[in-house]
Amino acid sequence: MIDVCCAIIVNEAGLVLVTQRSATMSMPLKMEFPGGKMEPGESPEDCLIREIKEELDVEVEIVAAIPASSYHYPTFSILLIPFVCRIVAGEILLKEHAAYAWMEPSDLLNCDWAEADIPVVHEYLNPANHTSIKE
């Protein structure tokens, strides 16, 4: 099982940042939440902040945790560990992804997601599943 942290970044208007994997990545052009694999000895929170800086060149603050969900792809399994975040410094500059979009929460389920993300979107859409970390 690969531990992967991902960021559900929300802006002041309540829109959610969705990123598109590039044509050269695995699962090309699928939509995902930015993030990546935890390194040995790294906490999920530190992983998330590092990955978002590497991928989007912004600094985020974690607002809430969403339950992790596992997903079994044909050749590997991942545990997706999502956090709701907001940007506290910087402007988005895509370093790896093909594109990004700010979406209304009600439109999220219409995206062509990496399959592991679909349960995460459902968890996000139910606020009862959010564990607040910072107001």
Ligand X SMILES: Nc1nc2c([nH]c(=O)n2[C@@H]2O[C@H](COP(=O)(O)OP(=O)(O)OP(=O)(O)O)[C@@H](O)[C@H]2O)c(=O)[nH]1
**Site for ligand X, rule CB under 6 A:** 4, 6, 25-27, 32-33, 35-37, 78, 80, 114, 116-117
CB of 87 to ligand X, least distance (A): 17
Nearest residue (CB) to ligand X, 107 versus 135: 107
CB of 22 to ligand X, least distance (A): 9
CB of 71 to ligand X, least distance (A): 6
Point out the residue whose Cβ comes nearest to ligand X. Answer: 36
Nearest residue (CB) to ligand X, 101 versus 135: 101
CA dist., res. 4 & res. 9, Å (int): 16
CB of 13 to ligand X, least distance (A): 22
Nearest residue (CB) to ligand X, 112 versus 135: 112
Nearest residue (CB) to ligand X, 9 versus 130: 9
How many other C-beta atoms are found inside a 10 Å radius of the C-beta of residue 65?
17
